[in-house]
Amino acid sequence: MAKRLEGEAREEYLRKLDRRLSRLFLVLLVLTLIIVAVVAIASQDLIAAGIVLAAILNGLFFLVGLVAWIRMGDHGIVRTGRMFQFFLLTSIVGALLFALIAFFVGLGDVYIGLPGTGGEFDSYQDVYIAVIFFIAMAFSLWGVQLAVICEAFGIIWFAGLIIRRFMPGVLKGVRIATFTRKDNPQTKLMLWLMDIPDMLDLSQLKVEAEPPKTRFPWDRFYRAIFWEIFLGTIMAIYVSLNPVLLESLDVVQIFSVLSSVSIIIPIIIIPWFALLALRARIPGITKEFQLFRGIRSRILQTFVALGTIIVFIRLALQEHDAGTIFGSFISYYAILGLFSVYFAFVYFNFFEIDLARETERRYQNLR
């Protein structure tokens, strides 16, 4: 792990790290596109090429994230050593619960051993099998947590790269907007997305990054998890319970796809919370208008149509067993919850403040 730095030395170190990671990401991305193109040409199957692309992109973000974690491990509010202790504790607790269920309840006949050399065993009240389950599950849970953290580092680093590149221009566009036809389409879109009232003087927009924190921002962490799960729920309902989609895909298949793409939800939430760390606000007559709250209001107005949701659920229940639908939801929530918790932790622990300070610096340079 890199030595912990502060002040200008820290900012310069992170800029250099960004450049190195950008070069690594570009090289890996080019190799990915070449491999996908070869697969598409050789197989003449776009679906197979899409699967290969998704798998390699996951591997790409994993590798970039691993490098980022190694280089940034001691720059977080919570040190990496404490994170490993948490991973170990949760792995042991989870494995112990699984082993106890296998011993006292049973999981039926389970194949143990290498192909062709193992056999099927009943786990019910078998200490030997329970111990094997405990060891295997502990290592599995530990490995899954490490993999998700590496993936989170890679994806959040990439999201931060986009935020640093485009957020300053977006804020400048908001500051010079006039609510007239002179505004370009991108500015009009941002004014709509942020739900900014037209009576405000946008030229008074204030952007001031928060100072470095010494304590983890638990309140924002929980709010981010809530909004990630909230948006994931809305997406799942609109996609999986849509009668049109259900004509061509089974609800279980749809949830399988949703579980794979749920990784993009943190990318939607992170730019929103970046505005909170930037303290982007516009003075008003009685109180300041926060851009963060404007986006929250717009999301609620746009994505939550309760009547439509109820109609979708009723139509879906006519075609599928309620147990199947709710079982699919539970498995989807398990994956969504894992991504939401770990991605939010990585962002607030390692990226939030430095991302806000660099974005503010670039915004001030545009003025």
Note the pTM of the prediction, 2 decimals: 0.83
pLDDT surpasses 60 at 95: yes
pLDDT the model gives residue 109: 64
pLDDT the model gives residue 189: 84
Q: What is the distance, to the nearest Å, from the Cα of residue 181 to the centroid of all Cα atoms in its chain? A: 36
Angle, helices 322-346/127-175, rounded to nearest 10 degrees: 70
pLDDT the model gives residue 178: 82
**Amino acid letter at 335?**
I
pLDDT surpasses 70 at 174: yes
Own/partner pairs for 27-33, CB < 8 Å, 24+ apart?
Answer: 28/60, 28/63, 28/64, 29/60, 32/56, 32/57, 32/60
Question: In percent, how much of the chain has pLDDT > 70?
Answer: 77
Compare 306 and 328 and report the one with higher pLDDT: 328
pLDDT surpasses 80 at 59: yes
Residue in the structure block whose two tokens are 């907007």? 177
pLDDT the model gives residue 279: 87
Q: Report the pLDDT averaged over residues 30-37.
A: 83
User: pLDDT, tens digit, for every residue of 113-152?
Assistant: 556 565 566 666 677 778 888 888 899 999 999 999 999 9
86: left (phi over 0), alpha (psi -120 to 50) or beta: alpha
- Segment of 126-135, 169-178, 193-202, 292-301 carrying the highest mean pLDDT: 169-178
User: pLDDT, tens digit, for every residue of 308-343?
Assistant: 555 555 555 555 566 666 767 777 888 888 889 999
User: If pLDDT is split at 50, 70 and 90, which confidence band does 198 have?
Assistant: confident
pLDDT surpasses 60 at 307: no
* Structure tokens belonging to residue 242: 């849509």
Compare 295 and 207 and report the one with higher pLDDT: 207
